[in-house]
Structure 1
């Protein structure tokens, strides 16, 4: 049906033809093909055309429309004529063979409206490729939970040689004919879709029926987190394979290219994986889910402690098999062992650091009344290599624990800050691992008679008090100045934490619980400093803020400037 309309330029626009076309004429199932709507007319320029996409059940639209236009002007016997073409193309794919009917659509422009008739498209079943071989394999079809397994994807090509041209197409060139965007790669998507990592594949040669073929193999490692049946989805390779070559001569020399090619689609069968749970027999009661074989060592940053004084416990876990997921490895079950040995453990552990085959953990602990040393700690695990339970243990560490220091609060230097009305509840959480402050009762008045008698004896020594006091004050100031310099020059969260605690203990005159001393002067300041110490303890292992050490140093130096 032909429609006539006047164009914007005063010329007559004639729509001469409109039709569907499919390329290739008989597409294959699973191979993308092109559906094209072509409109031709007479006139100077092609008008803007709107048309609905060819939505058909069973056909998936992958891309489009790609709109292209063309025009030409011809003069014959002094008569000028103009013609235009406009094509709209969609890339579609049919997952199965069959007959599909492109729908009747209406093409609309500002100068015409035309109905496009239906078109039947027959999709044939794609024959198994005789030129490309694809295999998906798993190194262990029945792994243990969390066991590392390797998946291999192998693609082999039948050698292609054009006898007339005497040219052979290498497997590397054949690999470039795979359409990676259209292929379904499953767990291999992360490496094959990366052009740089795709080049890290292993060159392999075929065996058996594929003897004489060659190609490439990719390997990825994975774990199965839960037991039961797991299914590896099939891999689909979509592309083409050369049928013939052609030699062309250009100003740059002779080149050979693919003249014709045939479509290729290869699907691997799915693989069922039976993921096993470690056996109940001989399972340690404190097993927390660790899989692998490990070495465990423990250390303390110091071994001479006062009761309730915090100390850092460092655990070093080494992966002896080299296949464990250290970042997701459960922490060793040490809380009960430490508690039974007289230690209190910080309830908020920081995450560990993983460097190579070693994971390092830190915990803040403190000795209580019955603590005599760090006990042997253990990490039970199941070794998937030997299929046996193992227990890694650390060596015991002797520790010297003495009673905590007590201080007469009345002897503290006076503060320039006003006492705040809100009291702070002093307890173990005010400083992780610190003992309880014991209040020293104030001295009562002695009987008048005894005082009069003793006064005569003491009077002679009063002259020596100022000199003694000056020497003591000078010694304390020198110690604080020395610790202040160490605090300002300390590098790293661990060094800053040790210098900060030493400075605060010296400033307060109380080793076991200096936070409680500050709390009697400024509860809010004590709370702020305590929170800063907690953030500092966690920051070295990724659990706190990066500027935690600077915050602690700033608060402590501010205490000195205000003479608290």
Structure 2
């Protein structure tokens, strides 16, 4: 037998009786487990005893014998399984269809031949209802079979799935499904062309793992109209089997290109960057958005491409984020990278992304459109701006430094200028001590500077407020230019970037929700957290809203007021 679970049911009951003022409580505890057994061969088969252990006590059922009769050859009811396509790759979908063909009624060839079977509808047994094989996914059984349930109860029952019949008080009512799909002409066993009624049960699956999956055999069992006796129909007990079919889920072949992103099928890939005007060393956000077509696999396996493998990009930009987390919206998935230009005048080239085409079983490359940038040289101070030349005249004075070789007090004639020339040891010892103290203080400062200058977290905190204020300035410029989306990104980047820099968190992919949670965990006062969270939530709402200039302007004003307070409170906790 092929064994398949068919659900379970709790049978717990309790009752209370009062007899002659005496209360009697009775409880019954039970559970039913159902299994579907499909015989693999004809003959007299035995279902062995099934044993369970409850509370240390062993219980066993009695063996059962089943006489399995091989299906007879007939052309009254035909059954077959079709899979399409027969070979797929992970994340691709395929369809399994059980087709049942029934001969028309002898006296009314246009009438549905299942109508006379309303009281005893035929039964279908299949192995792809529930549970699903490991490695496949599909929609819920309710979404699949719910729309097929027949109100007139004309059709087939499937795997003893229960229905809702308010008149079935004493027995379990089975759901009846309408699978009518039209007509099809075929020749019967005698070679006569017959216009069969066709019934189809279809289900779509999505492959998640490679392997071979078997559907079937399926069986159809019931009494069907085979003829007439006078004005009455005569029935014939039919048991027919549809042979099993397989679907082969193949793995994407290896070796795979460095720019392969995991996409299987047809996708469009769009690159965008913000800001497009910046200086050397400034960060910019490079977004790659993958949008799947109707013939593409799931977005779950699409990963961020390796930008370091694209030499044209890596030569001109420092790439900070190697594998950012993708954000899925509908049929699209977006990855945002942080990159920094290395020199002025560079732009983002066309980026190659490799996909896999299951129809040709080959990798193919798609190119994004290049993006023009305006990258200028970063501001730098010359050495002369920091060190004053020894030959330059003092500010406000035209005097030059001159040496005097005549000796002390030589050529001095005024007696008042003659001073005591006796050497004072205390003066020299004090000067020496002061010199040693200054040297020690200077050396301590050098050590501290070396330590903190090599600490990336300290460096991030030092630059945090400046970076945030610059992003707010960019947001104000974008808003003035009518670029609301770029303004929102710069505004959000200012606040989340400040939080990331002050708390030493990864800036790439940090959402407003994660930023708010990190602030709460940092120990900020509740009132401050509330105000910051209000602004962050307004940004999150604008992300999915209309992004009007008025709302963006208000959010920008709030952020400019909030930033100094947020920086101060975070600084006090470091």
Q: TM-score, normalised by structure 1?
A: 0.50
Contact 1:204 1:214 in 2 (8 A): yes
The equivalent of 1:499 in structure 2 is 491
1:349 aligns to what SS in structure 2? coil
The equivalent of 1:153 in structure 2 is 98
Alpha-carbon offset, residue 296 of structure 1? 2.7
Contact 1:295 1:319 in 2 (8 A): yes
The equivalent of 1:196 in structure 2 is 146
Q: 183, 195, 206: which is aligned to 1:212?
A: 195
Cα distance in 2 for partners of 1:341, 1:268 equals 61
Contact 2:457 2:501 in 1 (8 A): no
Does structure 1 residue 232 correspond to structure 2 residue 214? yes
Q: 364, 373, 384: which is aligned to 2:358?
A: 384
Alignment of 1:236-255 (within 5 A): 236-242=218-224
* Cα deviation digits, residues 113-133 of structure 1 (max 9, x gap): xxxxx9985524152474432
Taking a change above 3 Å as real, the CA distance of residues 393 and 431 of structure 1, as seen in their structure-2 partners, is farther
Q: 329, 342, 355: which is aligned to 2:302?
A: 329
Cα distance in 1 for partners of 2:34, 2:206 equals 37
Alpha-carbon offset, residue 300 of structure 1? 0.9
Cα distance in 2 for partners of 1:59, 1:498 equals 57
The equivalent of 2:152 in structure 1 is none
Q: 323, 331, 352: which is aligned to 2:327?
A: 352
The equivalent of 1:364 in structure 2 is 338
2:265 aligns to what SS in structure 1? coil
> Please, what is the CA RMSD of the aligned residues?
6.0
Taking a change above 3 Å as real, the CA distance of residues 400 and 258 of structure 1, as seen in their structure-2 partners, is farther
Alpha-carbon offset, residue 241 of structure 1? 2.7
Alignment of 1:58-207 (within 5 A): 95=39, 97-98=43-44, 123-128=67-72, 130=74, 131-143=76-88, 148-161=93-106, 168-171=111-114, 177-179=121-123, 183-185=126-128, 190=139, 194-198=144-148, 203-207=181-185
Cα distance in 2 for partners of 1:372, 1:551 equals 35
Contact 2:258 2:306 in 1 (8 A): no
Contact 2:268 2:290 in 1 (8 A): yes
1:382 aligns to what SS in structure 2? strand
Taking a change above 3 Å as real, the CA distance of residues 171 and 360 of structure 1, as seen in their structure-2 partners, is farther
1:397 aligns to what SS in structure 2? coil
Q: 250, 254, 278: which is aligned to 1:275?
A: 250
* Cα deviation digits, residues 266-318 of structure 1 (max 9, x gap): 342243637375486xx745434433244333111221112332222122334
Taking a change above 3 Å as real, the CA distance of residues 119 and 497 of structure 1, as seen in their structure-2 partners, is closer
Contact 1:308 1:368 in 2 (8 A): yes
Cα distance in 2 for partners of 1:562, 1:539 equals 16
Alpha-carbon offset, residue 399 of structure 1? 1.8
Does structure 1 residue 535 correspond to structure 2 residue 517? no
Cα distance in 2 for partners of 1:350, 1:242 equals 58
Alignment of 1:435-446 (within 5 A): none
Alpha-carbon offset, residue 369 of structure 1? 4.1
The equivalent of 1:427 in structure 2 is 456
Cα distance in 2 for partners of 1:207, 1:137 equals 18
Contact 2:452 2:459 in 1 (8 A): no
Structure 1 segments unaligned to the other structure (5+ residues): 1-28, 31-57, 68-88, 104-117, 247-255, 409-421, 439-475, 505-513, 516-523
The equivalent of 1:461 in structure 2 is none
Taking a change above 3 Å as real, the CA distance of residues 335 and 531 of structure 1, as seen in their structure-2 partners, is closer
* Cα deviation digits, residues 295-354 of structure 1 (max 9, x gap): 333111221112332222122334467333334223333233233332323245121324
Cα distance in 2 for partners of 1:297, 1:156 equals 49
1:550 aligns to what SS in structure 2? helix
Q: How many residues align?
A: 384
